[in-house]
Each structure stands twice: as structure tokens, then as C-alpha cells.
Chains A and B, each alone.
Chain A
Amino acid sequence: KNQVEQSPQSLIILEGKNCTLQCNYTVSPFSNLRWYKQDTGRGPVSLTIMTFSENTKSNGRYTATLDADTKQSSLHITASQLSDSASYICVVSDRGSTLGRLYFGRGTQLTVWP
């Protein structure tokens, strides 16, 4: 069964600190992996997309890594800000359909305290 598991479920950090969120998946065949940021009451916004051949990608203070062999990804947030408080969702796409089927994790709820 294709699944995406994220950990931790929730995380609280102090402003200015770094943190790393984890994503494990069993989706096969693999096409790409995305990290989305979802603010409360809003739609998800894409942070990074990585294909099979990419093992790291950065977007400002966000750096995503991908190990396609172990089917693991991480999202590292550097020098956290209050505005980073949101749910971070790992999404994996398979290669098996023209639709680009997406499998969503439940997200990690990050809270940044001042």
C-alpha cells in the first residue's frame, strides 16, 4: 500500500533555532517528492520538488533532502521565524499514471515561539 509517514506529528521550537522534519514513504514507482507549507486555514504552498535524481534542494531557509534508496526525505529549517509556524506536508507522486497521483502525509505541525 502506498503510504507517506511523517514525524514528528508536532514540534515546538524557539525562534532562531533550527529543526528537521522527517518523511518516510512506500510509494512506488516513485516520480517526485514535494514539501508543502500550509498555514492554518489556508491552502498548501509548495516549498520544494525533488525528482529521483536529486538528493538536495534549497529554497531560502528551507533545505530538503531525498534518499531514494531508503525512501526517506527530510526538511531542514534554518534560523526559524515566527512565520514558519505552520503544517509541513510531505507529498509523493508516483510514475504510474498520467494524472500524477499524489500521496499526502498528515503533516508536521510546527510552532515557533518567541
Chain B
Amino acid sequence: EADIYQTPRYLVIGTGKKITLECSQTMGHDKMYWYQQDPGMELHLIHYSYGVNSTEKGDLSSESTVSRIRTEHFPLTLESARPSHTSQYLCASSDEDRASYEQYFGPGTRLTVT
């Protein structure tokens, strides 16, 4: 099982609150990712990072922001949560093997904004 962790696993929060979803990996991977997944739908990449101090937006526009101050840590922040942010958020990391780019996923955070 991959050593990548997400907290909290479940979060119910009111509109307008600021939230931070935590993601940590102990595999020393440089590349990390955040995906958003709605029920029955495909994963959409919202943020990624090549390494420390590197962050990029993904394919799906998101009002969230990310930071990468340490290799092992890639938190995602929503400054003002809205009901449209209700979704599952999955963090992943990958190794440097260019042939496979195996991505290891965390267990996810199920966010509900009321």
C-alpha cells in the first residue's frame, strides 16, 4: 500500500469557510497532484507540482490554491467554500520512472459544503 495520506477523510462545512485539505507522502516523490472526482465521473486534474516551490493549474478550473514548501507536503486551500465545491478530492504522487509514471493515490477527502 502506498504511503500517501490525506486528512481529513470527511469534512462537512458551511458556506464561506476557509478550509485546507492536507496531503502528505513519505516516498520522496517529486511530482504530486490534486484531482477532483464527482460520483460516477472521471477524475479531473486541478493542480500539480513538479517539486518544491513548483505549482501549476490542471485541466479543470478550480478556485482552490496549493502550495509546495516541502517535498512531502502538498496542501490544497479553499479561501471561501461554496456548495459547488462539494466533491471528492484525491491527492496523488508519482516517481521518476518515465516509462510508467506510476501514480499512487491517497484515500481521498470527501468534502460537503452546506
Interface residues of A (CB under 8 A from B): 4, 31-32, 36, 41-46, 49, 51, 89, 93, 98-100, 102, 104-107, 109
Contact = CB atoms under 8 A, between A and B. Distances in A.
Contacts of A100: 94, 98, 101
A105 to B, nearest CB: 6
Contacts of A31: 101
Contacts, number: 55
29 contacts: A4-B42, A31-B101, A32-B99, A32-B100, A36-B105, A41-B107, A41-B108, A43-B105, A43-B108, A44-B43, A44-B90, A44-B105, A45-B105, A49-B100, A51-B100, A89-B43, A93-B101, A98-B98, A99-B31, A99-B50, A100-B94, A100-B98, A102-B101, A102-B103, A104-B42, A105-B42, A106-B40, A106-B41, A109-B40
Give the bracket for the number of chain B residues in contact with chain A: 20 to 34
Given A43-B90, A51-B99, A100-B101, A106 B31 contact: no
Nearest to B101: A100
